[in-house]
Chain A
C-alpha cells in the first residue's frame, strides 16, 4: 500500500499541472486569484485567533496548566505564520492556476490552525471558517476598485507583521511574500483585476452567514446581505458622478449639464500605496476585532440560496485520490513544528462556554457543514523516508477530529487499489 502511494507521490513530478487541476472544483476565470484568497483568509484567521487568545490571556505566573498565557499566544501565532508563509508553499501558490475547491481550501485551513500547540473542536473550527469567509466576502464586495483587493491583501500582511514585531526572521518571510506579490500583481491590468474580483465573488456566492459584529456595526443587514453605501469618497480614478459633457466634431466641448445621480459622493483623497511599505489608505483588511468585541455568528437557517452550495459539496469528486495526494505533498512541504513529548495540546474554544460549543455543533444546519477531507496517518511507519515525513506531518490523533466525508478517507481508498 505504501509502495503504491509512494509511486503516485513520486509521479507527481509530472503533473504539478495535472495535480493542481485535481484540486479544482470549477473552471473559474482568473488564474491569479488563489494567492489573494489564501493570504486574506489566513490573515482573518490570525486576527480571530489572536483576539480569542488575548481574551483568554492569563498572566503567566497565575496561569494554571490549562490556561492560555501571552507566551502561548505568541507561540501559536508564530507557528501558524511560519507555516503559512513557508517559502515553497507560497511559490507553489503564486503559480498561475485556478482556485482550489472549497473542500481543499478548508482542509488547508484546518491544518494551518493546528500547526501549533492549539487544538480546535469541529464546532469552533466551523465558526472560525465562517467568520473568515464572511469577513473576506465583505472586504472583496466593498473594494472600491478591483485593484484594491491587493491593498486589502497588503493590509492583512502589514497587520500580520505587527503581530510578530519581535521576530526578524518571520518578518523577513512576510516581506518576501509582499515583494513577490508586487512582482506578480504589479503589472496586471484593470481588466485582469476585475476578473480576479469576479472570481473571488463567485467563490463567495450564496454565503449569507450573519456575523454579530457586522450586524452591530450596521455593515450587514439581518437578512445576511451586506450594506453597500452610496456616499463617501469615490474610488481612486473615478470622477464623482453627475456631469454630462457634450462635444462637437472637432472635440470642443459645447455643453455641460449636471444631473441628479442619487448618491452623496466626494472625490477620493489619495491613492493607497502598492509598495512594500506605505499608507494603504483603505481600511478594509485591517484588524476589526478587539478584545472587547467578542465575535459570534448566527448560522442562518435553511435558505434556498444554499441549495446550489450543497449540490457542489455533495457531488462526488472523481479525482479525490489525486487531490489528496497532491495536498499531502503540498502540506508535507510545510515546516510544521511537531509537538513531541509530554507537551499538551491546548484547546481553544471560539465560543464563550464549552456548552455553547457543544450546542453549536448539534444545531449547525446541515447545508452549512464544511466538507473536510479526512487525512489519517497510517500507523505503519515503513522505510520510505519522504513518505514517512509527509504522513507524519499529518495529525496523528487518537480520535478523528475532522468529519469524514464519503469515501475520502485515504486509508479506505488505499484498500480499493
Chain B
C-alpha cells in the first residue's frame, strides 16, 4: 500500500516529454536530488527525507548558433565509477555538469551539417556505462563519450550507427555474469531496440525489431531488456537472443517512463493514462524464463504523467511528474 507524501513544488511546470524525471539518491548525506525539464530550462532540487526542498538550481540550454531559445529534451544523472555527472540534452547539443549542476564541464554542439529540413535536430536518451556516457541523436546515432575520473577532459570516443530513426532512450547495467555480455540497450521511434556490449569499441550484439510504435523508455536488468511502448505495452526481451519473454498490456495510453530498482527486481511503468504500475520481475535460471507479477497500481488523477522514478534502491518509494504540473508527487509504502 502506497501513500501520498508531501509534494515538492517546482518553479516551472513539467514539459510534455518522456522520461521527464531524474533522481539521484545520495545515501551518505541522506539527500535526494530531483531533475525536471520545464522547457528552455530544467530545475534541479535537493530534497531532505521528509520531502522538504533544501536547495534548487535552474539550468538553461546553451544557446549556440541561432536566435531562438532551445528546448531541453532531457536531464539525467549519470553515475560513473569515480564521479557523478549531470547530463542535459537539448536542440543545440549536450551539456555535462558536476552533479550539483554548479559547473559545466563539457559542451558538445550538434553538427548543423547533419541538419535536414524535414526534421528538427536534438539530442535525447542518456545513460552511463562504466566510464562511458552514451547520448542518442535525432538522426539515430548514439554518441559515446569517454569520461575521465575527474576534470573536463571528456572525449567523444565513438559514434554508433544502428538506428534508422530518432533515439528515444538508453539503458545500461553493469555486466555481471559471464554469459551476460550485453550491458547497453538503445531504443528509437520505430520501436527498434539495439543491444550492445560496451568497450573501447562498442559491439552490436542483437537487434530487436519494433512493430510500428515508438519505444519511449527502456531498462536493462540481468540481461533482460524491459521496453515501454507508445501502445501502452511493456515488453521484456532476453537480450542475448532477442526472444520475447513477457508482454504486458499495461496501460491505455503511451508509456512515458520506466524505472528499475535493480537490487529487488522491481520495475515501474508510468503512462499518459494517469497510471503508475509497479511490477516484480524474476528470472528463472533453470528454464531461462522471466516472470512478472503486478505489485501495485496508482492513479494520479487528471495528470498526463511524463516522468516517474523510484526514490530508493528498495523500490519502496517513487516520484512522479506530470505535464503542466508544477510539483513533483511522491508516494511511499513505508
On whether A201 and B297 interact (CB within 8 A), knowing A27-B69, A98-B120, the answer reads no
Residues B39 and A31 in contact, CB atoms below 8 Å apart: no
Residues B243 and A308 in contact, CB atoms below 8 Å apart: no
Question: Which single member of A228, A248, A263 contacts B302 (CB below 8 Å)?
Answer: A228
Decide if A281 is an interface residue (CB 8 Å cutoff).
no
Residues B70 and A26 in contact, CB atoms below 8 Å apart: yes
Complex Cα distance A259/B279, Å? Answer: 10
On whether A235 and B190 interact (CB within 8 A), knowing A27-B120, A190-B212, A228-B304, the answer reads no
Decide if A383 is an interface residue (CB 8 Å cutoff).
no
Q: A234-B252, A260-B297 are in contact. List 13 more A-B contacts (CB 8 A).
A: A26-B69, A27-B69, A189-B190, A194-B214, A194-B254, A225-B302, A228-B301, A228-B303, A245-B246, A247-B247, A249-B289, A257-B293, A308-B12
Q: Which residues of A contact B244 (CB under 8 A)?
A: 247, 251
A-B contact pairs, 29 of them (CB 8 A): A24-B67, A26-B39, A27-B68, A27-B91, A29-B120, A98-B68, A141-B323, A146-B254, A190-B214, A191-B214, A198-B17, A238-B232, A239-B231, A239-B233, A240-B252, A242-B249, A243-B248, A244-B294, A245-B248, A247-B289, A248-B287, A249-B238, A249-B243, A251-B243, A259-B294, A261-B277, A262-B297, A305-B13, A308-B12
Complex Cα distance A57/B219, Å? Answer: 61
Closest 4 CB pairs of A and B: A191-B189, A259-B294, A201-B16, A27-B91
Decide if B162 is an interface residue (CB 8 Å cutoff).
no
Q: Which residues of B contact A227 (CB under 8 A)?
A: 302
Q: Which residues of B contact A304 (CB under 8 A)?
A: 11, 326
Which of B92, B216, B243 has its CB near the most chain A CB atoms (within 10 A)? B243
Complex Cα distance A208/B230, Å? Answer: 27
Decide if A25 is an interface residue (CB 8 Å cutoff).
yes
Nearest neighbor of A319 in chain B, beta-carbon distance: B67
Q: Which residues of B contact A261 (CB under 8 A)?
A: 250-252, 275, 277, 297
Residues B273 and A230 in contact, CB atoms below 8 Å apart: yes
Residues A241 and B252 in contact, CB atoms below 8 Å apart: yes
Q: Which residues of B contact A29 (CB under 8 A)?
A: 71, 73, 91, 120, 122
- A286-310 residues at the B interface, CB under 8 angstroms: 304-305, 307-308
Residues B252 and A28 in contact, CB atoms below 8 Å apart: no
Decide if B200 is an interface residue (CB 8 Å cutoff).
no
Nearest neighbor of A317 in chain B, beta-carbon distance: B67
Complex Cα distance A10/B317, Å? Answer: 62
Nearest neighbor of A303 in chain B, beta-carbon distance: B326
Decide if B324 is an interface residue (CB 8 Å cutoff).
yes
Decide if B290 is an interface residue (CB 8 Å cutoff).
yes
Q: Which residues of B contact A198 (CB under 8 A)?
A: 16-17
Nearest neighbor of B295 in chain A, beta-carbon distance: A259
Q: Which residues of B are interface residues toward A (Cβ below 8 A)?
A: 11-13, 15-17, 38-40, 66-71, 73, 91-92, 117-120, 122, 165-166, 168, 188-190, 212-214, 216, 230-233, 238, 241, 243-254, 273-275, 277, 287-294, 297, 299, 301-304, 323-324, 326
On whether A21 and B13 interact (CB within 8 A), knowing A96-B118, A242-B249, A244-B292, the answer reads no
A185-200 interface bits toward B, Cβ cutoff 8 Å, 1 = contact, 0 = none: 0000111101001100
Residues B299 and A262 in contact, CB atoms below 8 Å apart: yes
Nearest neighbor of B212 in chain A, beta-carbon distance: A190
- For residue A186, give the distance in angstroms from its CB to the closest CB of chain B: 15
Q: Which residues of A contact B252 (CB under 8 A)?
A: 230, 234-235, 238, 240-241, 261, 263, 265
Complex Cα distance A107/B11, Å? Answer: 29
